[in-house]
Structure formats: C-alpha cells, structure tokens
Amino acid sequence: MCNMITRRLSNRKLLVDVLAIMFGIATWIGINGIYVQLPLLINAAPEKWNLPVHMVMLVQIANLGPILYTIYAKYSSWTRDTYIIYGLLGCATLAIYSMAISYKYTSYIFGAEHSTALLALMFLTAVVGCTSSVLFTPYMRNYREIYLVSYLVGEGLSGFIPSAVTLIQGVGGNPGCDNLTKPGDTTITLVPFHPEPRFSTETFFLFLGTLLLMGFISFIGLNKLPVARGERVKPPGCMETLPTDINAPQSYKTNAGWAMTRQMYLYLLTMIGIIGFLGHSALPSIQPYSCMPYGNVAYHLTLTLGAIATPLAMCLGFIQKTPKSVNFLSLLTGFIILLSGVVLYLSLQSPTPPFQGTWYGILFVVCLWILLNGLIGFVKMGITTIFRPDPGRGLYYAGVATQVGSLAGAIITFILLKQPGLFNEYSVCDALMGKY
C-alpha cells in the first residue's frame, strides 16, 4: 500500500496539488461554513428552525449563475473562463468578510422578520458553489487527470475545515431554561438561554473569508506559475480552450476513444441527480427536525462530523486508481435512499422522536448523519471520476444534473415544511412544562 501511494505521488507536482486543493476549498466553503454555524445562528435568527430551508432555497436561486454562464458561453464569441472565476472568487471573499460585521441585521419583508444581511450575502457565496459544478470542475480538465481528484478533495475540505474549526468553537452545551415568573404571578414563565461558544461567529466568518482569499490566490497560481502551466493537458504555450464546450460531440459517443451507452449515460446522470436532491437540498432542510430534539450538542456534532465524513470518503480517490463499478455505486445510492428515509421518519416524529433523552439516541442520530454524508461524498466522487475521461460534455451535464436534483429537492422540501403540523420544533422549556 505504501509503495503504491509513493509511486502515485512521484508522478505529480505537489505544489499543483496544493493549488488545486485550495481552489477546490474555495468552491463551497462559504455555504458550508454558514451551514455548520446553524446551531448558533438558529438561536438568534427570526426564521428559527426554518432558516436552513430558506438557505437551501436561496442556493437554488443562485443557480441563475450557471444558467447565465451557459447562455454566455453558448452565444458569446469571446469567452475567457479564467476572468469569470476571478470575479466569482473575489465577490465571495468580500461577501464573507462583510458577513462578519453585518450578519445580525434583520428587516421585515411581507410582514415577517428575516435575516436579510445573512441571507443576501450567503446568496452571493452560493453563486460560486453552484457555478463551480458547471465551470470550476470542467475547468480542471485543462490539467492532468490526477489533479481533478485533488480539486475534489479540496471541495470536500470546504466542509471539513469549517467543521473542524466549529468543533473547537463548540456551542457551549445544550440550552437551558430561566424562570422569569414575577412574584405573585401564578403563571410559570420559562425562557430558553443558550451557553456561549469558545469564540464568536464573527471570528469564524473572518476565518472563512481568509480561506476564500487563499483560494483566490491559489487560482492565480494555477494560471500563472510555470510549474502549474506545465501540468496542463495542452502545451503551456497554448491558449486554454473552453472547458464547457457547448458544441462538443455527444458524450456517450465520441471519436476520441471514450464511449458509453446512452442508457448508462442517462442512468449515471439520474443517480447524481438523486445525490443532489438528497445531499444538497432535502436532507439539510430537515436536519434540525431530526437532530435538535436530541439536543443542541447532537445537532452540532451531526453537522460538523457529518461534514468531515465527506472529504474523508473522497480521499479514497488518492489510493484508488479507477472508480468503483456502476453496480457498486448503485448499491450505495440505494443505501443512501434507505438512510434518508430514516432521517425523514425522525424528522416527522419531532418533537418527540424515538430514544429522545438517551445517550444511545444521540449516538444513533450522529452516526446516521456521518454515514450518510460519507456515502454521498463517495458516490459523487465515483460518478465524477467516471465522467472525467469524457472529451465531450460529461462533466458539464453531471453538474447540470446535480443542480436540477438540488432544485427539485429544495422546492419539495420548502412546500412540505410550510404544511402546518407536519414538522414541529422542539423546545426544552415546553418539555419541562409537560407540553409534550
């Protein structure tokens, strides 16, 4: 095993690996960073437990980014992907730095209070993540295949790093209740209080902004440094071609030695669409309802450890030369659907799910989310790696299928969460007063 890893590492430039990883980190780190802060943000946000579904909906609206890019790439006679990526990374960096000082600002829209600053700035960072599926990932086709895995690991680390930092930050423990009953008043009034974390959300957002800035600088290095240009598929002196060639031949039948049946091609796109439906939209939207009844610490651990499981699963690409078989990926996808059904059941049982108030209930829900995130990350990596040798539009359509699945999941979940009595929040104070 060690000899195999050493042999594979000797065939690559580690500096280019680092640049590709940092570039990959910049894709979703804004959204992932905000996401793992939810146990702290939910406590103060006017949307409460519905804040995640508002975030998911805005992420889907951010799909306007890849749509506009696709139209521009199809009809523009001058397309330079490098400059577009510069603009996106620069915008996301400024948005996260601004969020550090303004995320608490709210305003009333249609008579309801909303976290306007947080959601608006989050939208700008979401454009980067959504566009990465159809722009950043295909862009890595300009480099040798081994660096695509580095980029994907970086994309996974965009969830791992914020999660690791959030584990250090903590949530201060589970919420408690203060008795605000006035003397002579027979009505007991309990209000929740939330312990303080080790450092503030403002500091955390400044950290995220710095990582985005490093990703921006790393992308400059990928384009400008001679060692990186030497690792391109085309000679360094050639101008880059458009990675997402709208006029490329059909991916499942090409003249470049790569072929796939139409049925298999569509099947893989459907599979990655299901992964987008569950992993990007449906599951994150209902996660508070499946975890918060077990305590704020349980929710914190499912977010952080679950996000860490994704890049760990993707790291298997470093020691696995070829992707797993389609049958194996299909089996894993079926298992993901089964586990997602368990998550849905727990969410529907809120505020009193099974094993509530027990250590094994907390262990079960945390392990459930870790396993789910790890499997989703591995299947996504496997399908993307299968499409990587395609000289046509495989990676582009894989990105489109992911976003279509995500959009469908967001719409369906948003409608379900608006149904009265279907998903119910848990309150420790209500539990103490015997309302459940």
pLDDT at residue 187, rounded to an integer: 66
pLDDT per residue as tens, the chain (436 positions) = 455 555 555 567 788 888 999 999 998 898 889 988 888 888 778 888 888 888 888 888 887 887 888 788 777 766 678 888 999 999 999 999 999 999 888 888 877 788 889 999 999 998 888 788 778 877 887 887 778 878 878 887 887 788 889 888 887 667 777 776 666 666 666 767 777 888 889 999 999 999 999 999 999 998 888 888 877 775 444 444 444 444 444 455 554 556 677 888 889 999 999 999 998 889 988 998 999 888 888 888 888 888 788 777 766 655 555 556 888 899 999 999 999 999 999 999 988 889 888 889 999 999 999 999 889 988 888 888 787 666 667 777 887 888 789 889 988 998 888 888 888 887 777 766 666 5
Contact 123, 58 (CB under 8 A): yes
Q: Exposed e or buried b for every residue in 188-199, given b needs 16+ CB within 10 A?
A: eebeeebeebee
Q: Residues 301-344: pLDDT tens digits?
A: 888 888 788 777 766 655 555 556 888 899 999 999 999 999 99
Other Cβ atoms closer than 10 A to 33 = 28
pLDDT at residue 173, rounded to an integer: 67
pLDDT at residue 64, rounded to an integer: 83
CA distance 146 to 227: 15
Alpha helix locations (H) across 255-393? Answer: 262-276, 283-291, 296-314, 326-348, 359-387
Q: Please give the angle made by the CA atoms of 201, 204 and 210, to the nearest 5 degrees.
A: 145
Tell which residue, 101, 128, 116, 97, has the closest CA to residue 31: 128
CA distance 6 to 25: 24
| CB proximity list for 144: less than 8 A, separation 6 or greater | 12, 231, 232, 233
Strands 107-109 and 176-179: unpaired
Coil, helix or strand at residue 192: strand
Coil, helix or strand at residue 90: helix
The two tokens of residue 198 are: 């080790």
The domains found in the chain, sorted by start residue, are 12-244+251-432 (1.20.1250.20)
pLDDT at residue 9, rounded to an integer: 55
Report the interhelical angle of 394-417 vs 262-276 (nearest 10°).
40
CA distance 73 to 104: 38
Contact 61, 188 (CB under 8 A): no
pLDDT at residue 246, rounded to an integer: 44
How far from 130 is each of 3, 72, 153, 203, 218, CA to CA, in Å? 38, 16, 17, 26, 20
Its pTM stands at 0.76
CA distance 108 to 120: 14
Tell which residue, 406, 430, 311, has the closest CA to residue 63: 406
**What single DSSP character describes residue 89?**
H
